[in-house]
């Protein structure tokens, strides 16, 4: 069945943790060795296996919620359920238990929460090891409701203490109990489920990569939505910088925000780990503005986060200037996990998605980290640390310990700023209530906009794998994000961790404008290379905003690689097209799917010569890329232009095997061969060129993606046999490249343990 366009929406993944802001105290006789008598109401049984079968399919789709539990409608109140007791002073105690057989966790909603002065509610487990509360009349939202977070286990007790002077004035009603059937990382021993379930390529915010972004990290919180799922969002500043607790997330996350719970500072304290504090939360909010056009929702929290939470309110940039965004990063809670950070070192750009109209910032792929379900609504920051978008959807995910190279898209803050005809569909009425016309605001924890401030874009036109060691220009964009024109810049830069060099520029860059600078040339060394650039001075003084003041790049240069080029002219449904290049069963390169409006694919790759590969192109609708729904085609060529694979008219997939010979300018050892033994190897391998091939001069070993993992430190002469330790090599396939005094040799090495 052919094809209908869809718009991906990033899912509302699951998450819940500790309590809302409470008011201290303990239930009656809490420290007594004798537990109180409690009547338990049993919840209906949950067919966990059936939900798990659904989850096996649904977890692959970002546009639907990733559940941690089943919402069970109830009708429980203090008049018809539970038991009352009267204390000697006339105060009354009401207790009711809830039993959900087999539940890992229980949470619920008071849809009617009415307490008199002095009334207190506590929630705890049957073993009295977990305590939430007290909750008082101050916890009720404007609808007199309250969502209550997790209690771990299959039994929960609710206790209401009512003062004698207000007897009969309190009322509690529960309309929803959530039976949690997926575990909560850090609160149970089980590791599966919403907490701790994000992919291994995600980066904790307290890793070194997150160090420069502390203010932005403090703004982000995870949201419990619909009582059994989660999104991410962040506090945002106003032009008045008055601390109004506005909270920005995605429109597609919206539901009954009055029962939402917002958890701040849920972070692993170190670079590793998936557990963090769960005690800093705020309950309830009011929706003030939203729009599908840029997928945003702006909420007003019922209570501002207390000073003890140490939060920041994010700055933002509503100019929507595509040229001004040189790089970006996101902070989020993927899969309900602790807070993570991801980086887009290239410039995101405006893109139309599905039925929306020019409302997204498009991320081709993340260089470090990714987003996942549960990251929805999280902020996208430009290189100056100001919000420019809210995560809406995408296909980015982990593929093992690296990302899958796929895209994400964010609703544009600049579109949300002034969209529609009323305050309920735009941001400016709330974030600029005095209508000052201000479009750029700093966060609440940093200095205001400064006179002299520049941002460095990513280093351009150098691929992470270079097929040769030819000289390369070091080029990057410089953007003026300050209030004054920039007339002079001094940059420091270092190549391959060598001596620091300086580059001086003079001219004029107007505010909100950019220029491109070529600051030097790198002569790549075989193997790993690095470039680091830093701002020294702007207009002869210090750039006080250090975000955006550094740019760096690491890449691999190969001496003996073959370059192949791939061109794909996409059909009318590019979202169905993916491809890969493999060696044996290892995927070396892959791409797709694509988005309507994308340019034709035009990429090049480095591959080891004297080896064979397979190119495969896929179409998820089983009708190829030609010719019923567009005249698509593909061509794979070598460096000389010779066709290695081509086509377009196929069904589900089409594969072509091809082999690459030696590189022009090199020669194979006449009649020689390279022997590798044992092969597969364990802790060592012997290299033997034999009498015909000559003596070793240099040895290099590449992994499956062309990275040098071992090379001889100096020329090796006078021997035809050489032993290499492979103890530190991961199992897999490697290419061994050898230079001898008679020519070049290569061979395939297998490591197995």
Q: State yes or no: pLDDT of 486 exceeds 60.
A: yes
Per-residue pLDDT tens digits for 488-511: 999 999 999 999 999 999 999 988
Percent of the chain with pLDDT over 70: 87
Per-residue pLDDT band for 670 (boundaries 50, 70, 90) equals very low
Q: Lowest mean pLDDT: which of 122-131, 342-351, 658-667?
A: 658-667
pLDDT at position 666 is 33
Instruction: Return all residues near 214 (Cβ < 8 A) that are at least 6 apart.
Output: none
Here the contacts of 747-750 (C-beta below 8 Å, separation 24 or greater) are 747/674, 747/675, 747/676, 748/611, 748/676, 749/676, 749/679, 749/681, 749/685, 749/701, 750/679, 750/680, 750/681
pLDDT at position 289 is 97
Q: State yes or no: pLDDT of 191 exceeds 50.
A: no
More confident position, 149 or 386? 386
Determine whether domain 454-557 maps to CATH 3.30.460.80: no
Q: State yes or no: pLDDT of 197 exceeds 90.
A: no
Q: How many residues are there in the chain?
A: 753
CATH topology of domain 203-441: Thrombin, subunit H (2.40.10)
Domain with residues 562-660, CATH architecture: Sandwich (2.60)
> Counting beta carbons within 10 angstroms of the beta carbon of residue 479, is it exposed (0 to 12), middle (13 to 18) or buried (19 or more)?
buried
Residues with catalytic roles:
252, 295, 376
Q: State yes or no: pLDDT of 52 exceeds 80.
A: yes
Q: State yes or no: pLDDT of 230 exceeds 70.
A: yes
pTM over the 0.75 mark: no
Q: State yes or no: pLDDT of 358 exceeds 70.
A: no
Per-residue pLDDT band for 93 (boundaries 50, 70, 90) equals very high
pLDDT at position 596 is 65
pLDDT at position 193 is 32
Q: State yes or no: pLDDT of 65 exceeds 60.
A: no
Q: What is the mean pLDDT of residues 608-618?
A: 86
pLDDT at position 744 is 65
Instruction: Return all residues near 671 (Cβ < 8 A) that are at least 6 apart.
Output: 692, 693
Q: Lowest mean pLDDT: which of 374-383, 450-459, 584-593?
A: 584-593
Q: State yes or no: pLDDT of 599 exceeds 80.
A: no
pLDDT at position 399 is 79
pLDDT at position 154 is 94
pLDDT at position 602 is 85
**Domain boundaries along the sequence of the chain:** 40-45+67-180, 203-441, 454-557, 562-660, 675-751
Q: State yes or no: pLDDT of 585 exceeds 80.
A: no
Per-residue pLDDT band for 685 (boundaries 50, 70, 90) equals confident
* 518/532 Cα distance (integer angstroms): 14
Residue 415, φ and ψ in degrees, nearest 5: -75, -45
Q: What is the mean pLDDT of residues 59-78?
A: 78
* 252/356 Cα distance (integer angstroms): 13
Per-residue pLDDT band for 66 (boundaries 50, 70, 90) equals low
Per-residue pLDDT tens digits for 397-414: 887 778 888 889 999 999
Query: Average pLDDT of the chain?
Result: 84
Q: State yes or no: pLDDT of 20 exceeds 60.
A: no
Q: State yes or no: pLDDT of 195 exceeds 60.
A: no
pLDDT at position 741 is 64
Q: State yes or no: pLDDT of 657 exceeds 90.
A: no
- For 524, what's the count of Cα atoms within 13 Å in the CB-facing half-sphere? 24
CATH topology of domain 675-751: Immunoglobulin-like (2.60.40)
pLDDT at position 278 is 74
How far apart, in Å, are the Cα atoms of 308 and each of 132, 183, 210, 213, 543? 18, 29, 22, 20, 31
Mind giving me the DSSP string for 332-398?
A: E-GGG-S-EEEEE-S--EEE--TTS-S-EEEES--SB----TT-TTPEEEETTS-EEEEEEEE---E
pLDDT at position 531 is 95
Which residue, among 368, 399, 363, has the nearest Cα to 380 in the 3D structure?
363
CATH of 40-45+67-180, picked from 3.50.50.60, 2.60.120.290, 1.10.1740.10, 3.10.20.30, is: 2.60.120.290
Q: State yes or no: pLDDT of 64 exceeds 80.
A: no
Asked if the domains at 454-557 and 675-751 fall in one CATH topology, the answer is: yes
Please measure the distance between the N-terminal and C-terminal CA atoms of the chain and give it in whole angstroms: 46
pLDDT at position 7 is 31
């Amino acid at each position: 069945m052919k094809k209908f366009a869809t718009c991906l929406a990033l899912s509302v993944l699951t998450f819940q943790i500790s309590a809302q802001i409470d008011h201290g105290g303990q239930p009656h006789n809490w420290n007594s060795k004798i537990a109180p008598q409690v009547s338990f109401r049993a919840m209906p049984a949950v067919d966990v296996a059936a939900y798990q079968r659904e989850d096996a399919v649904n977890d692959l789709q970002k546009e639907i919620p990733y559940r941690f539990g089943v919402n069970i409608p109830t009708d429980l109140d203090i008049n018809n359920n539970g038991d009352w007791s009267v204390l000697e002073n006339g105060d009354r105690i009401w207790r009711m238990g809830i039993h959900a057989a087999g539940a890992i966790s229980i949470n619920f909603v008071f849809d009617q929460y009415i307490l008199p002065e002095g009334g207190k509610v506590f929630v705890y487990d049957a073993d009295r090891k977990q305590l939430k509360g007290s909750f008082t009349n101050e916890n009720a939202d404007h609808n007199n409701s309250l969502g209550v977070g997790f209690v771990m286990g299959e039994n929960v007790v609710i206790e209401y203490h009512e003062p004698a002077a207000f007897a009969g004035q309190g009322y509690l009603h529960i309309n929803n109990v959530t039976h949690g059937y997926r575990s909560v990382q850090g609160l149970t021993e089980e590791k599966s489920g919403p907490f701790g379930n994000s992919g291994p390529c995600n980066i904790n915010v307290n890793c070194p990569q997150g160090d420069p972004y502390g203010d932005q990290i403090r703004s982000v919180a995870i949201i419990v939505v619909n009582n059994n799922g989660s999104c991410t969002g962040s506090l945002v500043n106003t032009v008045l910088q008055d601390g109004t607790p506005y909270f920005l997330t995605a429109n597609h996350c919206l539901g009954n925000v009055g029962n939402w719970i917002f958890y701040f500072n849920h972070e692993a304290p170190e670079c590793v780990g998936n557990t963090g504090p769960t005690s800093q939360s705020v309950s309830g909010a009011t929706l003030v503005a939203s729009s599908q056009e840029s997928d945003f929702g702006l909420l007003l929290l019922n209570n501002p986060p207390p000073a003890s939470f140490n939060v920041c309110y994010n700055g933002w940039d509503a100019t929507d200037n595509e040229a001004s965004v040189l790089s970006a990063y996101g902070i989020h809670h993927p899969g309900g996990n602790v807070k993570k950070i991801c980086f887009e070192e290239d410039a995101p750009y405006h893109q139309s998605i599905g039925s929306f109209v020019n409302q997204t910032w498009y991320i081709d792929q993340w260089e470090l980290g990714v987003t996942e379900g549960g990251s929805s609504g999280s902020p996208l920051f430009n290189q100056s640390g100001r919000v420019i978008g809210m995560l809406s959807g995408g296909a980015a995910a982990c593929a093992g310990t690296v990302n899958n190279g796929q895209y994400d898209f964010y609703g544009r803050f600049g579109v949300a700023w002034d969209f529609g005809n009323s305050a309920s569909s735009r941001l400016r009425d709330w974030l600029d209530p005095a209508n000052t016309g201000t479009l750029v605001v700093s966060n609440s924890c940093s200095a205001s906009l400064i006179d002299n401030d520049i941002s460095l874009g990513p280093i351009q036109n150098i691929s992470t794998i270079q097929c040769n060691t030819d000289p390369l220009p070091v080029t990057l964009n410089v953007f003026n994000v300050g209030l004054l024109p920039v007339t002079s810049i001094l940059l420091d830069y270092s190549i391959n961790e060598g001596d620091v060099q300086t580059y001086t520029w003079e001219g004029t860059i107007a505010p909100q404008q950019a220029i491109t600078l070529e600051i030097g040339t790198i002569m790549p060394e075989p193997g790993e290379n690095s470039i680091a650039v830093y701002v020294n001075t702007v207009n002869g003084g210090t750039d006080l905003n250090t975000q955006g003041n550094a740019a760096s790049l690491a890449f691999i240069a190969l001496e003996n690689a073959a370059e192949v080029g791939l061109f794909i002219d996409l059909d009318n449904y590019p979202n169905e097209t993916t491809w890969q290049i493999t060696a044996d069963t290892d995927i070396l390169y892959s791409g797709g799917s694509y988005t309507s409006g994308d340019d034709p694919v035009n990429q090049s790759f480095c591959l080891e010569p004297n080896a064979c590969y397979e190119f495969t192109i896929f179409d998820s609708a089983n009708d190829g890329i030609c010719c019923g729904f567009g005249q698509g085609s593909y061509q794979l060529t070598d460096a000389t232009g010779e066709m290695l694979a081509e086509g377009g008219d196929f069904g589900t997939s089409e594969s072509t095997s091809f082999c690459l010979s030696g590189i022009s300018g090199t020669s194979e050892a006449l009649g020689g061969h390279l022997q590798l033994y044992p092969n597969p190897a364990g802790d060592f391998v012997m290299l033997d060129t034999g009498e015909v091939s000559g003596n070793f001069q240099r040895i290099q070993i590449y992994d499956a993606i062309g990275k040098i993992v071992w090379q001889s430190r100096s020329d090796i002469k006078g021997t035809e046999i050489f032993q290499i330790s492979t103890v530190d090599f991961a199992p897999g396939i490697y290419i061994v490249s050898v230079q001898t005094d008679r020519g070049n040799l290569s061979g395939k090495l297998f490591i197995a343990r």
